[in-house]
Amino acid sequence: MLEILDTTLRDGAQAEGITFSVEDKKQITAALDELGVSWIEAGNPGANPMDLRFFQEMASRPPLRHASLVAFGSTCKASLTPENDPALQTLCDCPASVKAIFGKSALYHVTHVLRCDPEENLELIRSSVHFLKSRGNTVWFDSEHFFDGFRENREYALSTLRAAVSGGASRIILCDTRGASLPEEISETVRAVRQEIEIPLGIHTHNDSGLAAACSIAAVRAGCDHVQGTIGGIGERCGNADLCTLIPLFSLKLSMPCLPDGCLRKITHLSRVISEIMNIVPRESAPFVGNSAFAHKAGMHIDGILKDPATYEQIDPEEVGNQRRFLVSDQVGRAGVYARLGRLFPDLNRDSPEIGRVIFRLKEMEAQGYTYENADGSFELLAMDTLGRRQRFFEVADYHVLCQRYVETSDKALPTAQAYLKISVGGREGINAAEGDGPVNALDKALRKTLSEFFPSVSRMSLQDFKVRVLNAEGTASLVRVSIESSDGSHIWNTVGVSENIIEACLRSLIDSVDYMLSHFVPAEEISSAIGRISGRNNASSPLYKASEE
């Protein structure tokens, strides 16, 4: 089996804007272990006391299921011996299955960065590896700038690898540290190394030329049996090779399984879990795991997909735990709208006149500035409304929002807005006011506070994301589109609202959000006790549908 080493926690931590706490590292380690990678390179304990604490805390826990931990460090300082180098000593004593140390393989770096004699560098590599090995460690050598070094002085680059082998290294990782190599060059170089070095070889690439994945594949085909990368390709500058691209490629296209059976299907979910812990938004267009990886928009494509998914999908999305999405837009046509609505309205077929009515309404709304590509919730409500099947759970009778400028005080965060809101639910009125740190926040709080009195489940709802887009630049009278992502803790849905008034646009999006939640995720008894008898629905997944059948 091809070995995968994830270095999100070590090399990935070099990415701009990324920092990990010990707790973050533990959570990411657990997710990577569930994914089933062989190795997790989790930090540099000699350089970072927090990383040392991480390894120590992990050592007191039950062992991981799939993965083993690798601690990273460097060859000893040129002015010291390995025995006297505190960082190497800390690495030596750190509880991790493997110690990986990097050293210089490019002559230019030896003479200009390390500023030592080339022979001395070879001895630094050999003696540092030997020091760790002689104290009972498994040692790997990360050959920094190997491909640049090989291009510059082939014999010297190879001699650094021989030094590591003679010190007792059990694997050598060839690094394209600047991300400057082309795939053919990587293959030729790995083949040349393969002739000289008998221990297993690994590949570590960077994406400065956009070729990190291609270079990793070239290296494996030429004889590497160990691949390094990060989740989402995060890392210094343009990042590292993206394991979420490489793992599916190796598993599905090169018949080189690299995860335990069944684990490939977890990669989409776990990559998103890890992104969440890292507090980064996963790239929508990421191959295999991106939200757009199996999203279809053009009408002709959707028509093809409905006939045979292989027409526009390279693999079945379920193989990587992702899902097919049909985007709704005015380009989508009948096939796309039917693809979305067929599930909700099993009584319709592709040629039903209702589909045409929904398309007409969709185009009308898009002309007003709405977009439903990323607002599945609002699209469904729009379709229901067009077909006369939308349930209105409440009406907003009135609202006032008051904004005020406060003098900032250092000791107290003062609210900057208040909202007053009146709604009616099944003939009864509810009135509430709320404060917030902005008008939208105050209105959202007032709406949910009032609605919770009728529908207690609404108190579980929270806003996950909120985006405002100005649609036409005509000064302050421009149209504004507000997109909201909401959650009840187990589901996520998206809605949209448009108006010239940002508060009104937000309210429209919020109303859709609450309506969507009430029609999908709230028990029928709760709805009927708030609004009385429910008219018929035709949505099999909705609790209302069940209520209407009773």
List residues binding Zn ion (CB under 5 A).
Answer: 11
Which of 109/340 has CB closer to Zn ion?
109
Which of 44/386 has CB closer to Zn ion?
44
**For 210-257, where are the E strands, in sequence order?**
226-229
Least Å distance, CB 21 to Zn ion, is: 22
Give the number of residues written for the chain: 550
Please list the residues that pair with 465 across neighbouring strands.
Answer: 485
- Beta-carbon contacts of 279 under 8 Å, excluding residues fewer than 6 positions away, are none
Residue 360: both structure tokens together: 């007409």
Q: Nearest Cα to 161, choosing from 228, 215, 120, 104?
A: 104
Which of 102/338 has CB closer to Zn ion?
102
Least Å distance, CB 436 to Zn ion, is: 45
d(CA 375, CA 482): 11
d(CA 205, CA 212): 5
- Beta-carbon contacts of 330 under 8 Å, excluding residues fewer than 6 positions away, are 362, 363, 366
d(CA 277, CA 511): 30
Least Å distance, CB 80 to Zn ion, is: 24
Alpha carbon distances (Å) from 88 to 40, 81, 124, 292: 20, 10, 12, 45
Least Å distance, CB 12 to Zn ion, is: 9
Which of 12/436 has CB closer to Zn ion?
12
Which of 11/515 has CB closer to Zn ion?
11
Least Å distance, CB 139 to Zn ion, is: 18
Which of 7/539 has CB closer to Zn ion?
7
Least Å distance, CB 206 to Zn ion, is: 6
Which of 36/229 has CB closer to Zn ion?
229
Which of 11/354 has CB closer to Zn ion?
11
Least Å distance, CB 11 to Zn ion, is: 4
Beta-carbon-side half-sphere exposure of residue 100 (alpha carbons within 13 Å) = 26
CB burial string 311-329: b at 16+ within 10 A, e below: ebbebebeebbbebbbbbb
H-only helix segments in 387-470: 439-454
Other C-beta atoms lying within 10 Å of the C-beta of residue 410? 5
Least Å distance, CB 177 to Zn ion, is: 6
Least Å distance, CB 202 to Zn ion, is: 12
d(CA 61, CA 526): 44
Output DSSP code: residue 347: T
Which of 11/376 has CB closer to Zn ion?
11
Torsion angles phi and psi, residue 375, rounded to 5: -145, 60
Least Å distance, CB 14 to Zn ion, is: 8
Least Å distance, CB 336 to Zn ion, is: 43
Least Å distance, CB 143 to Zn ion, is: 11
Which of 236/303 has CB closer to Zn ion?
236
H-only helix segments in 488-523: 502-520
Residue 7: both structure tokens together: 């270095």
Residue nearest to Zn ion (CB): 11
CB 493 within 8 A of CB 467: no
Please list the residues that pair with 457 across neighbouring strands.
Answer: none
d(CA 319, CA 326): 18
CB 437 within 8 A of CB 417: yes
Which of 143/251 has CB closer to Zn ion?
143
CB 457 within 8 A of CB 521: yes
d(CA 9, CA 93): 20
Which of 6/11 has CB closer to Zn ion?
11
